[in-house]
Structure 1
Amino acid sequence: MSLLPEIQHLCQLFDIRLNPNIGQHFITTRRILQLEVKIANLSQNDIVLDIGAGFGFLTEEIAKKAGLVYAVEIDRRILEALKFRLREYIMKGKIKIIEGDALKVPLPEHVNWIISNPPYHIISPLIIRILREFFAKNDFRGAIMILQREYVKKLFAKPGSKYWGRLSAAFRFFAKGKIIKEISPKYFFPMPEVDSVLVKMWPDRRARLVDFALYEKITAIIFQSPNKKLKRVLKDFLRQNADNWRALLNQLSSIINLEKRVREVSVEDLERVALFLKEKEVI
């Protein structure tokens, strides 16, 4: 069943003019929303975060299965439409509203799933935020999201790929992921100019050598020159930050293959470099 007539009716009722420039594209078929919820296999014990809840159609499907849903929405008029549609769920305490910018407002700590179709224009900082705040928690199970296909190529990239960079290195520090389904632009209103995919992401709980703050520092240094050899990038950095740079570079060569190009280095390589430079008090 198409949700388009109801979306259009709500826009008229609440005097809403959708703005595609700020990511206001909404799924128009309930079947896709139900698939997102089905993948998570929710129970009444689950607490779910829906970022960019919009009119609440996905929020509603989540609330049918989960114990509690937090719905985050910044647009006040759209939020009024959501409250109108889902007032019974809200009165029962099944849905709690968070009004504001998802990049700035405090997000609830006790969440074990994120199921969300967020605006594409904020997706990079949003993904980094949820990776930091949720994926390291022991009880967090994962995220189900619809994202822009070109962005997912970069997010899920592996070492050696032309898309491998700071974003994918940050993602793989915390998580693994896979594409579940391609979503055609025809299933959105207004129709976007880009293709989308439904993805599942879950925590990678391997022990890490360094914390993410230090890891980010080293990715910022190294990925400035993705096509250069690691030896050249580290040599340039060490010459500016250590008097004994030659000795340090020589020691590093026994820990990691410095002949690799930056686009070929793995998460584990980055961790080893970060740990070494920390121990030598260079960063």
Structure 2
Amino acid sequence: MNLRPNKTFGQNFLKSQKVVMSMLNASNINENDIVLEIGPGKGILTEKLLTHAKKIIAIEKDTRLVEYLKEKFKKEIDKGTLTLLEGDILDFEPKSADLDKNPYKIVANIPYYITGAILKKFLETEHQPEIITILVQKEVARRIVGIEKRRKKAKPRPAGAVARSPERRFRESILSISVKAYGMPTYVEKVPARLFSPAPKVDSAILSVRKISRDFFDTINETDFFKVLKAGFSHKRKLLMSNIKPLFNETEKSSIQTDKKEILSACALPDNSRAENLTLNDWKCLTKGINS
């Protein structure tokens, strides 16, 4: 059977058992857990999950791999500890696999090109997982968690030159704020490209999102929050004040300007604020102010 990685599906098969165990440990997998695995590939993660969890639901889009996994895990499928589904994870509904009835966790080596779509789908779904632990591109994991890049060693400056203030390298994004609104993202560890087949062009990392819930939205409307967030990031080069202008219903420009300044001031934000510099709680404050 031809099991060469399919570029169309973004396949990079994990080869490291050490990384597999790190993913299980980050997810606190135990014998009572139900785990959803996305893109099981050749089954290196599936195999280990089966020895630690109660039940695995694995969804694979590649028909070749589905047939391979059916043979490899025939015993577990017959026993009922593994449910193997063929399909696209973005079309999958937790309810279809009875994941609406019991708590579940997601542990997966996902296609990197749908990282954002997968996080959005399972963080916003009605039946959220308890934990999401996935392999993603290293820089994506760093940006979501908020780890600043290491600064390069500064070049010697001429005598008498004024030193520039070091700039904060990390910036927030819609994705990073969205993830933090639902859970606590953690950068677990770096995974070198050589531990995959074929090796991707960049290193990866284990990202774990824990304590997933909607508690953040107890005092604000979820839809309103994302409306404000998307408006704030609508034009990266513009100031926040300009981006949120369409959210105000007043007809007089002077009134709009006054309201915007008052809201920013109430949230302790300067007039020249940019979306990328705001924290999660800043966005909550803005949402309350704009929708009050």
Compute the TM-score of the two structures, normalised by the length of structure 1. Answer: 0.82
How much does 1:227 deviate? 4.9
Deviations 1:118-174 (A, max 9, x none): 11111111111121127x85xx43122211112212322379654311111111111
Alignment match of 1:170 (pick from 178, 181, 189): 178
For the residues of structure 1 that align with 2:20 and 2:176, how far apart are their CA atoms? 26
Whether the 8 Å CA contact 2:184–2:211 is kept in 1: the answer is yes
Residue aligning to 2:154: none
Residue aligning to 1:113: 105
Choose 52-61 or 202-211, whichever is displaced more.
Answer: 202-211
Residue aligning to 1:4: none
Alignment match of 2:228 (pick from 206, 209, 218): 218
What is the identity, as a one-letter code, of the residue corresponding to 1:249? K
Residue aligning to 2:152: none
Q: Any unmatched runs of 5+ in structure 2?
A: 149-167
1:233 matched to 2:243? yes
Q: Cα 1:131–1:191, aligned 2, differ >3 Å: closer, same or farther? A: same
Q: Cα 1:248–1:177, aligned 2, differ >3 Å: closer, same or farther? A: same
Residue aligning to 1:145: 134
Q: Cα 1:167–1:185, aligned 2, differ >3 Å: closer, same or farther? A: same
What is the identity, as a one-letter code, of the residue corresponding to 1:141? E
Compute the TM-score of the two structures, normalised by the length of structure 2. Answer: 0.80
Q: Cα 1:254–1:20, aligned 2, differ >3 Å: closer, same or farther? A: same
For the residues of structure 2 that align with 1:157 and 1:225, how far apart are their CA atoms? 21
Q: Cα 1:211–1:66, aligned 2, differ >3 Å: closer, same or farther? A: farther
Deviations 1:48-78 (A, max 9, x none): 1111111222112111111111101111111
Residue aligning to 1:100: 87
Whether the 8 Å CA contact 1:55–1:79 is kept in 2: the answer is no
Matches within 5 A, 1:9-88: 14-88=1-75
Residue aligning to 1:6: none
Q: Any unmatched runs of 5+ in structure 1?
A: 1-13
Whether the 8 Å CA contact 2:186–2:209 is kept in 1: the answer is yes
Aligned length: 261
Q: Residue 58 of structure 1 aligns to a residue in which SS? A: helix
Alignment match of 2:143 (pick from 154, 159, 164): 154
Deviations 1:51-109 (A, max 9, x none): 11112221121111111111011111111111111111111110112221111121333
1:261 matched to 2:274? yes
How much does 1:276 deviate? 2.9
How much does 1:210 deviate? 2.1
Q: Residue 132 of structure 2 aligns to a residue in which SS? A: strand
Q: Cα 1:38–1:266, aligned 2, differ >3 Å: closer, same or farther? A: closer
Q: Residue 43 of structure 1 aligns to a residue in which SS? A: coil
Choose 63-72 or 20-29, whichever is displaced more.
Answer: 20-29
Matches within 5 A, 1:181-220: 181-203=189-211, 206-208=215-217, 209-220=219-230
For the residues of structure 2 that align with 1:41 and 1:204, how far apart are their CA atoms? 14
Q: Residue 64 of structure 1 aligns to a residue in which SS? A: helix
For the residues of structure 2 that align with 1:143 and 1:185, how far apart are their CA atoms? 21
Whether the 8 Å CA contact 1:230–1:261 is kept in 2: the answer is yes
Q: Residue 75 of structure 2 aligns to a residue in which SS? A: helix
Q: Identity of paired residues, percent?
A: 22
Residue aligning to 1:5: none
RMSD: 2.4
For the residues of structure 2 that align with 1:121 and 1:192, how far apart are their CA atoms? 12
Choose 247-256 or 117-126, whichever is displaced more.
Answer: 247-256
Whether the 8 Å CA contact 2:192–2:204 is kept in 1: the answer is yes
What is the identity, as a one-letter code, of the residue corresponding to 2:190? E
